[in-house]
Amino acid sequence: MATHRFHPTRYFNAIGVAEPCLRVADGDTVVTDTIDASGLDAREVAVASRPNPMTGPFFIEGAEPGDTLAVRIDRLTPSRATGWTYSPLALTVLDPAAILDRPPQQRVVWNIDREAGTVRLQDKVKGLEDFAPPIQPMIGCFGVAPAFGQALSTATSAQNGGNMDYRLFAPGTTAWFPVSVRGALFYLGDGHACQGDGEITGTGIETSFEMEVTFRVLKRTITWPRGETADDIFTVGNARPLDQALQHATTEMSRWLGEDYGLDARAASHLMGQVVRYDVGNVFNPAFTVACRIAKRWLPKR
């Protein structure tokens, strides 16, 4: 097991089959840089311009179609002292009647104070003079090459992962992705210093990061992304409308409870019906994200 330090010279805004930037072994760790769209020269993008430039793809030796790639998020460190967001609230989260009253779109800069552990608007906004939420780094967009030779925009998400903007994709979480191509071809980027549920203004606090992740190849098959923290397990559905994303996440959790915890469909429904929690990921982009989450304390012992 080795640690690789990789400094990218090109970025992608689609997740698909491409020449690997680095080959690593099962169990290896990668420390790499990511950038946000504001720091990107259009000439550096390998696939048509715009959003969410990705670092990668990383080829993981031993990963084959039908396997699962487990990605442990070890560390997310902002590499700039500023980030940016937009206002106002997105069209997708407002009543139609309220859309006419929206103010014009505006881009603002936030100071990222790593010593204080907070983020703060650079320009004063009335009523928010003392607003300084904690830095809570997360990965907005990451995943593996999808099936059937597709290349999916980093503005959306699917079974391979992508732009999910789920707040639990943070340090200490292990994310699982279904492998569809040899080597998995893993991409990551779109780091946020802070973000509420849903990415409801269209951005988190976008900034550049140094990210550290560790890969494991699991010889098992999953259908949708999964994840595990110290306290919870969760499954992720990506689709539109929102209820379809919830259905994908719920079905995947029922499968997981059967595969690893010995619960048949009836037992799983009793457990899920009382203790499941649903979290909203991205509700701004073409596919919405819903996570189905269960606290580990409720799970049968394996």
What are the pLDDT digits (tens) for 241-268? Answer: 999 999 999 999 999 999 999 999 999 9
Q: Examine the domain organization and report whether 140 and 275 are in the same domain.
A: no
Q: Examine the domain organization and report whether 213 and 241 are in the same domain.
A: no
The distance between the two most distant Cα atoms of the chain, rounded to a whole number of Å, is 56
Residue 125 lies in a domain: no
Q: Examine the domain organization and report whether 154 and 242 are in the same domain.
A: no
Q: Examine the domain organization and report whether 214 and 274 are in the same domain.
A: no
Q: Examine the domain organization and report whether 189 and 293 are in the same domain.
A: no
Q: Examine the domain organization and report whether 212 and 256 are in the same domain.
A: no
Q: Examine the domain organization and report whether 266 and 147 are in the same domain.
A: no
pLDDT band of residue 117 (cuts 50, 70, 90) is very high
Domain count, the chain: 2
pLDDT given for residue 47 in this prediction: 37
Q: Examine the domain organization and report whether 161 and 26 are in the same domain.
A: yes
Q: Examine the domain organization and report whether 265 and 184 are in the same domain.
A: no
pLDDT at 296 over 50: yes
Closest to 58 measured CA to CA, from 101, 132, 8, 94: 8
pLDDT given for residue 45 in this prediction: 43
**CATH code of the domain containing 256:** 3.10.28.20
Q: What are the beta bridge partners of residue 293?
A: 234, 277
Q: Examine the domain organization and report whether 272 and 254 are in the same domain.
A: yes
pLDDT band of residue 50 (cuts 50, 70, 90) is low
Q: Note the pTM of the prediction, 2 decimals.
A: 0.94
Residue 230 lies in a domain: yes
Q: How many helices (H) and strands (E) does the chain have?
A: 3, 20
Phi/psi of residue 165, nearest 5 degrees: 50, 45
pLDDT in tens, 274-288: 999 999 999 999 999
**CATH code of the domain containing 162:** 2.60.120.580
Q: Examine the domain organization and report whether 291 and 149 are in the same domain.
A: no
Length, in residues, of the chain: 302
One-letter identity of residue 220: R
* Domain region containing 9: 3-80+136-218
Q: Examine the domain organization and report whether 160 and 62 are in the same domain.
A: yes
Residue 37 lies in a domain: yes
Residue 237 lies in a domain: yes
Residues whose CB falls within 8 Å of the CB of residue 43, separated by 6 or more in sequence, listed in order: none
Residue 117 lies in a domain: no
Looking at the chain, the whole-number percentage of residues with pLDDT higher than 70 is 96
One-letter identity of residue 292: C
pLDDT at 48 over 50: no
One-letter identity of residue 236: V
Angle between helix 242-261 and helix 265-275 axes, rounded to 10 deg: 120
pLDDT in tens, 77-98: 999 999 999 999 999 999 999 9
